[in-house]
Amino acid sequence: MASISVQADDFDITGEINALKADRVDIGAIVTFTGTVRDLDGSLTSMTLEHYPGMTERELQAVADEAEARWPLQACRVIHRYGTLSPGENIVLVITMSAHRHAAFQAADFLMDFLKSRAPFWKKEETGEGATWVDARESDELALKRWNS
């Protein structure tokens, strides 16, 4: 059963992996993806993530369940933070575990593509000049089409 969390606090990647793996020996591949707050030109002071409590959890669970239905995963974990974060801080963690690497890689890729277009989060970037909402990228929408077949 895929496990998801929506939280203000940071996450501990190693701790999450260890908790999922525990004493299991049937896992041959562990993939993690971590998304962090990016500041390419040094202008960002902070980023605030707003979300829709209730729907966020439902959407993340639905996406994680879909990943488990499509690939033979031993474990699947998604953590997404909200609130005000500084450049470099963690935003999102996806962990997939499988007997073989292809399933783990593909499921993690799928999870990120789908949560970026479905999970109700909105980023606002604060700089010295003010605050602006981040626009959705058309490329994120196009990325979904890879998984439709």
Partner 1 sequence: MAQLLYFSWVRERIGKSEEQFDLPDGVQDVAALIEVLRERDNGYATAFEDLSRIRIAVGQSHVGTDHTISDTDEIAFFPPVTGG
Binding stretches for partner 1 (CB under 8 A): 35, 49-52, 54-55, 58, 80, 91-92, 112, 115-124, 133-136, 140
Minimal distance, residue 99 CB to partner 1, in Å: 27
Give whole-number Cα distances, 109 to 47, 50, 71, 87, 96, in Å. Answer: 24, 23, 12, 23, 10
Q: How far is 10 from 79, CA to CA, in rounded Å?
A: 9
CA distance 130 to 24: 49
Nearer to partner 1, 21 or 123 (CB): 123
Q: C-beta of 109: minimal distance to partner 1 in Å?
A: 12
Query: Which CB sits closer to partner 1, 21 or 58?
Result: 58
Closer of 42 and 53 to partner 1 (Cβ): 53
Q: Which of 133, 139, 47 minimizes the C-alpha distance to 88?
A: 47
Min CB(72)–partner 1 separation in Å = 24
Measuring CA to CA, which residue among 101, 91, 96, 123 is closest to residue 111?
Answer: 96
Q: In angstroms, what is the minimal distance from the CB of 17 to partner 1?
A: 20
